[in-house]
Amino acid sequence: MVDEAALAALIKSGHVAGAAFDVFSVEPAESNPLFGLDNVVCTPHLGAATNEAQENVALQVAEQMSDYLLKGAITNAVNFPSITAEEAPRVKPFVDLAEKLGSFLGQLTEAPVKGIRIEYEGAVASLNLKAISAAAITGVLRPFLPEINMVNSAMVAKEKGIVVEELTREAASNLESRIKIVVDAEDMPRHAAGTVFQDGKPRIVEIRDIQVDAEFAPHMLYVRNADKAGFIGQFGSLLGAAGVNVATFSLGRDKPGGDAICYVAVDEAISDALLDQIHEIPMVKRARRLKF
């Protein structure tokens, strides 16, 4: 027998390092002094009271874990949407895309986030979207909340008053599938869109209504600049002088002489000193390091 209130006090004081429970003094356990403590693990009471029932539960858990590790299938998870073995191969690339697309926007956002809208166009709209949306929310919020993950992202967003919307529609472009994420922050809204091509790799295809085509890389640099002659030369010279090797270089603009962006994958992180030099180029309006 355990005095749950006394144990909670001992854990908070540091006299007890941690605890794990699947049975509580009052069930169903809607509230308990142990809930919410970082070093307490609470699981549902399975209720397998006989040897046969315990064996069946163990086999079922083993099979479900095997399906997840080998096929990506998620079954009977307490706090995550189920994904069948058939769905997993089709959903996984879009989960990756949504997380990276959200991360791109989250890393560019400095003001508090008020809302996240996820728009699904084309074939992706017919998939199991719960996991994809969870990945998008995770990507957007992780720059501010490093501990967030796909399991708790929707709950965390709700607790912080962030409005999350999902929209689905038929294909509105020449892409078979397209995901667009709009982040409504206190300073301004930001949006970007991406897709997954036949190679299974996620790509970003639109930033600020400007068309691009770029893969995500561990180290990237995003620059918004005036579309004027000489920018690429100055920018490239700075990178070369600093010994930064460019893997890919994607450009786009809204109109001749208007706003332009470049999205660059590099082999190593950009230093603070180099970032300051890039900001000194007259045409540059914003430069930001990104990490995926």
The mean pLDDT value for 93-99 works out to 97
**Among 22-36, 111-125, 145-159, 160-174, which stretch is predicted with the lowest mean pLDDT?**
22-36
Cα 200 to Cα 195: distance, rounded to the nearest angstrom: 9
pLDDT at 59 over 90: no
Cis preceding-peptide flag for 28 (omega within 30 of 0)? yes
For residue 10, the SS3 value is helix
Element spanning 161, H or E: none
Question: What per-residue confidence (pLDDT) applies to 68?
Answer: 80
Asked whether 141 and 113 are in contact (CB, 8 A), the reply is yes
Cα 140 to Cα 192: distance, rounded to the nearest angstrom: 12
| pLDDT band, residue 49 (cuts 50/70/90) | low
Query: What DSSP designation does 229 have?
Result: T
Portion of the chain with pLDDT greater than 70, in percent: 97
Tens of pLDDT, residues 139-195: 999 999 999 999 999 999 999 999 999 999 987 678 999 999 999 999 899 999 999
Class of domain 88-207 as given by CATH: alpha beta
Question: What per-residue confidence (pLDDT) applies to 48?
Answer: 66
pLDDT at 5 over 70: yes
Is the domain spanning 217-292 CATH 3.40.640.10? The answer is no
Q: Which two structure tokens, joined as six digits, stand for 3?
A: 């005095």
Which residues make beta-bridge pairs with 288? 222
Q: Please give the mean pLDDT across all residues of the chain.
A: 92
Burial of 182 (0-12, 13-18, 19+ CB in 10 A): middle
CA atoms within 13 A on the CB side of 230: 5
Tens of pLDDT, residues 225-267: 999 999 999 999 999 999 999 999 999 999 999 999 999 999 9
Asked whether 98 and 130 are in contact (CB, 8 A), the reply is no
Instruction: Report the CATH number of the 4-71 domain.
Output: 3.40.50.720
This model's pTM is above 0.85: no
Domain limits of the chain?
4-71, 88-207, 217-292
pLDDT at 81 over 80: no
Tens of pLDDT, residues 198-224: 899 999 999 999 999 999 999 999 999
